[in-house]
């Protein structure tokens, strides 16, 4: 017997997408220029036209943010700032379904993830930071720590609204004002967030959103009126930003790439480890900077484990991101798909063995089947370079020391996972792993109270938790 | 003796085998079950799931107040769950106490329900606190009265004190009594075993000892057939099949009261053990109230509105 799940699409009638958008500056939607299309990556349908922000748009946004900082926001008490953040959080919860559908349309990620993970976490970040706003004296940064001023924030396309929340919520809680640029392929939820700011009656100019591409981002980074940069994206762009701000007074936090290792010992809870590996690499189509893109398996269980992984992968439902039963959605852009295809080709040519379950991929849109490579060694490019797609590289180890050496043998250091039922082994391994986040017997768990950030080329600074506040504050007395 | 060539039935071989099973991470198992509970089953697939679930129900009455009349009413419902709609399938079995087996069998045969088996709860159900002789006698009595399925309980006290050999021997002996005449379902009472590790161990113990089915609960103890418990048992039958080429059935019982719960169970089966298990031969749901909700949902799919509960029969 077969149990076919009939299509269960979430209705898109809840979202109202305009034909064309401008920028959000000084509390108002203003016209933009040089529009480009934003598409639904699952169908290539054009959703809207997005403005390409130029230097003059950035100038206006920074001026508005500066004015709002000096005249309004820095004068408000923490308690008053907190009220606005609570209000934003509640509106986000009320409009959660609208945000989830819009994010899925613009990004290609499954509605199950936007509905159950992205949007609830977005609201949680605002709630969490709302609570901090009047307690900054107790953040461990001395008495009356002070904001920097105007924060320039540049966010990626993989978690568009969630990355906005990670940036905007702490900035506002600590008294900074914001000029934010969403990624060029995923601007729509940021523009809808601008509506939320209006609905919450946030003072004009506290949050400004300028859409555009790398040139717009560069204008923000290099603008003399910006006091702090917060960037999430590739290591390559992160390095450019670091060079651009060298010798200036600008502070920066950078959340960059990763090549996370999931280390599975032979005493692991196998079924849950299989589940965690799948979640680690196929969550959000692998478009996750902290993805567990390397599986480092103890040799004695490797064959059995890989068999179980294949059985599980055959159950992954690839397809319409708006279908409530979809597990793996569309790749965000043609450009990213080409990059994934190129690196998968490199894996083949380097002699690793590729496997994917049988699945039908639509002709329209950008798709890549969940894929594993076995027989991968440290010398393979697919073990070293961030693919940012649904591709898992599987390596093996013989001793715990070897596992740690392999896991750490990367220029990145964002995330790692340890799978074992033995407590002492988990504690030992987590101390050895050089990664900003180490999960034990789970993966991809996020909470606004927990700091997140990288070692080495995975970035500077932390976001979230008490640690994340320090990026937006100058130490007080 | 050898059981599937895996253990020899001795205490030490069982201890050794059970100790090498991987542990179950509680958080991970619960998260997987919760994720599968979000599957949205609509339209044609919901219709299919409702009929499949009806055919898997072990329609149960296990009360001290059971009477012959009550059991006969249950049997009539088991054969024709909806007297106004002959397209509704019969349920998987009727499940009663031992002294009601003959009454149930006779009545089923008299109303054209020869295809509906009678399941009996034996071995001093629900506690299992009786001597082995009594348990054997109890089982023999049920089979002689016409039970084609025996739902036995394990000795949870022995299991929790680590006497796996004792639990194993009891199952083996009841298996012998059943022979070819009755299918054997082994009830763990997972609410008393508490941990998922114990559920996994009990699953293997029962499968190795010759169970045809592994069953969560008696229905007398809560929590009973929670989705993560069923998940762990479905993983066990899946892995046992790859070890031995034998498919063992799974029967969640207790706490599955509405269509939504039942469909969640079918999704668990489909995405864990696999579609091969989506048959009454390999998956049953022990329930009483569930059937009426399945019938009401089925009517709603046909008519487009919810009928009054008076349109489905009480037991």
Residue B98 in domain = yes
The strands making up B93-97's β-sheet, listed across from edge to edge, are B249-251, B213-215, B183-187, B149-153, B118-122, B93-97, B57-60, B285-287
Q: How confident is the model over A290-343, as pLDDT tens digits?
A: 999 999 999 999 999 999 999 999 999 999 999 999 999 999 999 999 999 999
Q: How confident is the model over B222-248, as pLDDT tens digits?
A: 999 999 999 999 999 999 999 999 999
Residue A116 in domain = yes
| pLDDT reported for residue B281 | 98
Residue B3 in domain = no
C-alpha angle A362-A364-A369 in degrees, rounded to nearest 5? 40
Domain containing residue A399: CATH number: 3.40.309.10
C-alpha angle A251-A257-A259 in degrees, rounded to nearest 5? 145
Identify the domain containing residue A150 by its residue range: 23-256+456-474
A277 shares its domain with A203: no
Residue B223 in domain = yes
Q: How confident is the model over B24-46, as pLDDT tens digits?
A: 999 999 999 999 999 999 999 99
Residue A10 in domain = no
Helix, coil or strand: residue A232: strand
Rounded Cα gap, residues A293 and B191, in angstroms: 38
A131 shares its domain with A195: yes
Which residue in chain B is spatially nearest to A419 when comparing CA positions? B25
β-bridge mates for residue A412, sequence order: none
A65 shares its domain with A209: yes
A101-117: average pLDDT: 98
Residue A32 in domain = yes
| pLDDT reported for residue A209 | 98
Mutate to test the interface with B, among A3, A308, A311 (most CBs of B within 10 A): A3
Q: How confident is the model over B121-145, as pLDDT tens digits?
A: 999 999 999 999 999 999 999 999 9
**Known active-site residue A289:** yes
Rounded Cα gap, residues B85 and B89, in angstroms: 9
A309 shares its domain with A211: no
Which residue in chain A is spatially nearest to B263 when comparing CA positions? A3
| pLDDT reported for residue B314 | 84
Domain count, chain A: 2
C-alpha angle A392-A337-A22 in degrees, rounded to nearest 5? 125
Residue A447 in domain = no
Closest CA to A440 of A258, A268, A259, A257: A268
Q: How confident is the model over A200-243, as pLDDT tens digits?
A: 999 999 999 999 999 999 999 999 999 999 999 999 999 999 99
Catalytic residue among A255, A385, A386, A463: A255
Please tell me which of the candidates B23, B38, B48 has its beta carbon nearest to residue A116.
Answer: B38
Rounded Cα gap, residues B308 and B292, in angstroms: 11
A217 shares its domain with A285: no
Chain A CB contacts of B53 under 8 Å are none
Domain count, chain B: 1
CB contact at 8 A, A395 and A267: no
Q: Which of the two residues, B193 and B1, has the higher pLDDT score?
A: B193
Answer whether B40 sits within 8 Å of A421, measured CB to CB. Answer: no
Domain containing residue A165: CATH number: 3.40.605.10
A336 shares its domain with A234: no
Residue A122 in domain = yes
Closest approach of B70 to chain A, Cα-based (Å): 34
- Residue A2, chain B, CB below 8 Å: the answer is yes
Closest approach of B104 to chain A, Cα-based (Å): 30
Cis peptide before B223 (omega within 30 of 0): yes
Percentage of residues in chain A with pLDDT exceeding 90? Answer: 99
The B-side interface with A (CB below 8 A) comprises 22-25, 27-29, 31-32, 38-46, 48-49, 52, 235, 266-267, 270-271, 275, 278-279
The DSSP H or E segment spanning A29 is strand A28-30
A442 φ, ψ (degrees, to nearest 5) = -165, 175
Answer whether B25 sits within 8 Å of A269, measured CB to CB. Answer: yes
A118-129: average pLDDT: 98
Catalytic residue among B173, B201, B251, B264: B251
Catalytic residue among B151, B155, B169, B261: B151
Q: How confident is the model over A339-391, as pLDDT tens digits?
A: 999 999 999 999 999 999 999 999 999 999 999 999 999 999 999 999 999 99
Closest CA to B277 of B296, B314, B304, B252: B252
| pLDDT reported for residue B20 | 96
Identify the domain containing residue B278 by its residue range: 11-299
Burial B250-281 (b: 16+ CB within 10 A, else e): bbbbbbbebbebbbbbbbbbbbbbbeebbbbe
pLDDT band at B170 (very low <50, low <70, confident <90, very high): very high
A249 shares its domain with A362: no
A279 shares its domain with A131: no
pTM: 0.96
β-bridge mates for residue A460, sequence order: A254
A246 shares its domain with A267: no
| pLDDT reported for residue A1 | 62
Rounded Cα gap, residues A363 and B30, in angstroms: 36
**Known active-site residue B215:** yes
Residue B207 in domain = yes
Residue A133 in domain = yes
A341 shares its domain with A233: no
Answer whether A441 sits within 8 Å of B25, measured CB to CB. Answer: yes
| pLDDT reported for residue B298 | 96
Residue B287 in domain = yes
Helix, coil or strand: residue A259: coil
Crossing angle between the packed helical segments A96-107 and A78-94, to the nearest 10 degrees: 70
Domain containing residue B266: CATH number: 3.20.20.70
Rounded Cα gap, residues A423 and A417, in angstroms: 14
* ipTM rounded to 2 decimals: 0.94
**Known active-site residue B77:** no
Q: Chain B neighbours among A 254-283 (CB < 8 Å)?
A: 267-273, 275-276
CB contact at 8 A, A372 and A309: yes
Rounded Cα gap, residues B123 and A221, in angstroms: 76
| pLDDT reported for residue B315 | 74
Please tell me which of the candidates B22, B39, B49 has its beta carbon nearest to residue A269.
Answer: B22
A419 φ, ψ (degrees, to nearest 5) = -125, 110
Least confident stretch, A190-199, A421-430, B207-216, B300-309 = B300-309
Residue B87 in domain = yes
β-bridge mates for residue A48, sequence order: A38
Burial A90-113 (b: 16+ CB within 10 A, else e): bbbbebbbbbbbbbbbbbbbbbbb
A214 shares its domain with A324: no
A416 shares its domain with A470: no
Average pLDDT of chain A to the nearest whole number:
97
């Amino acid at each position: 017997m077969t149990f076919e799940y009939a299509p269960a699409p979430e209705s898109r009638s809840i979202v109202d997408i305009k034909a064309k958008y401008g920028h959000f500056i000084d509390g108002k939607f203003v016209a933009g220029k040089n529009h480009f299309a934003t598409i639904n990556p699952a169908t290539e349908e054009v959703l809207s036209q997005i403005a390409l922000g130029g230097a003059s748009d950035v100038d206006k946004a920074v001026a508005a943010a500066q004015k709002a900082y000096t005249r309004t926001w820095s004068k408000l008490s923490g308690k008053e700032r907190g009220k606005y953040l609570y209000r934003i959080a509640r509106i986000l919860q009320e409009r959660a379904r609208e945000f989830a559908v819009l994010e899925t349309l613009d990004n290609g990620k499954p509605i199950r993830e936007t509905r159950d993970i992205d949007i609830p976490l977005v609201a949680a970040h605002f709630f969490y930071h709302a609570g901090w706003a009047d307690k900054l004296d107790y953040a461990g940064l001395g008495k009356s720590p002070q904001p920097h001023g105007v924060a320039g924030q540049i966010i990626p396309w993989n978690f568009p609204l969630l990355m906005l929340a990670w940036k905007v919520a702490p900035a506002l809680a600590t008294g900074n004002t914001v000029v934010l640029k969403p990624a060029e392929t995923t601007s729509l939820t940021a523009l809808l967030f601008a509506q939320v700011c209006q609905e919450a009656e946030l003072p004009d100019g506290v949050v400004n959103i300028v859409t555009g591409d790398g040139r717009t981002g560069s204008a923000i980074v290099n603008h003399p009126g910006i006091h702090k940069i917060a960037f999430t994206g590739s290591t390559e762009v992160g390095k450019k930003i670091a060079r651009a701000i060298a010798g200036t007074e600008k502070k920066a936090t950078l959340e960059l790439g990763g090549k996370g290792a999931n280390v599975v010992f032979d005493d692991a809870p196998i079924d849950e480890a299989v589940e965690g590996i799948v979640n680690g690499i196929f969550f959000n189509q692998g478009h996750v900077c902290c993805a567990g893109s390397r599986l480092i398996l103890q040799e004695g269980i490797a064959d059995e484990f890989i068999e179980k992984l294949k059985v599980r992968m055959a159950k992954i439902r690839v397809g319409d991101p708006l279908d409530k039963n979809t597990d793996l959605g569309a790749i965000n852009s043609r450009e990213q798909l080409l990059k994934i295809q190129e690196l998968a080709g490199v894996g083949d040519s380097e002699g690793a063995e590729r496997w994917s379950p049988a699945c039908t991929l639509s002709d329209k849109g950008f798709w890549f089947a969940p894929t594993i490579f076995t027989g991968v060694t440290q010398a393979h490019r697919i073990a070293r370079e961030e693919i940012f797609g649904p591709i898992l590289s599987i390596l093996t180890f013989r001793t715990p020391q070897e596992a740690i050496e392999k896991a750490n043998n990367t220029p990145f250091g964002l995330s790692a996972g340890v799978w074992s039922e033995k407590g002492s082994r988990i504690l030992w391994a987590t101390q050895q792993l050089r990664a900003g986040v180490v999960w034990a017997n789970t993966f991809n768990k996020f909470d606004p109270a927990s700091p997140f950030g990288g070692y080495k080329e995975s970035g500077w600074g932390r976001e979230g938790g008490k640690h994340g506040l320090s990026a937006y504050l100058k130490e007080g007395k | 003796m050898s059981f599937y060539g895996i253990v020899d039935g001795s205490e030490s071989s069982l201890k050794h085998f059970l100790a090498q099973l991987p542990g179950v991470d509680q958080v991970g198992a619960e998260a997987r079950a919760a994720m599968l509970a979000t599957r949205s089953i609509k339209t044609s697939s919901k219709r299919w799931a409702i009929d499949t679930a009806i055919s898997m129900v072990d329609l149960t009455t296990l009360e001290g107040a059971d009477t012959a009349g009550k059991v006969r009413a249950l049997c009539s419902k088991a054969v024709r769950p909806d007297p106004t709609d002959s397209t509704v399938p019969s349920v998987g079995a009727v499940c009663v106490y031992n002294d009601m087996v003959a009454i149930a069998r006779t009545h089923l045969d008299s109303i054209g329900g020869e295809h509906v088996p009678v399941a009996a709860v034996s071995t001093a159900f629900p506690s299992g606190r009786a001597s082995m002789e009594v348990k054997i006698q109890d089982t023999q009595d049920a089979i002689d009265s016409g039970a084609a399925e025996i739902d036995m309980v394990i000795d949870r006290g022995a299991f929790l004190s680590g006497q796996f050999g004792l639990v194993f021997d009891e199952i083996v002996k009841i298996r012998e009594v059943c022979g070819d005449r009755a299918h054997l379902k082994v009830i763990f009472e997972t609410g008393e075993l508490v941990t998922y590790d114990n559920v996994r161990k009990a699953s293997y113990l029962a499968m190795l000892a010759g169970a045809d089915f592994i069953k969560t609960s008696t229905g007398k103890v809560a929590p009973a057939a929670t989705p993560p418990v069923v998940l762990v048992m479905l993983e066990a039958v899946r892995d046992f099949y790859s070890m031995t080429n034998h498919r063992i059935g799974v029967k969640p019982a207790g706490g599955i009261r509405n269509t939504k719960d039942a469909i969640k169970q079918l999704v668990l089966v489909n995405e864990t053990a696999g579609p091969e298990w989506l048959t009454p031969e390999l998956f049953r749901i022990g329930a009483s109230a569930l059937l009426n909700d399945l019938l009401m949902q089925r009517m709603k799919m046909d008519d487009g509105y919810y009928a009054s509960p008076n349109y489905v029969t009480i037991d």
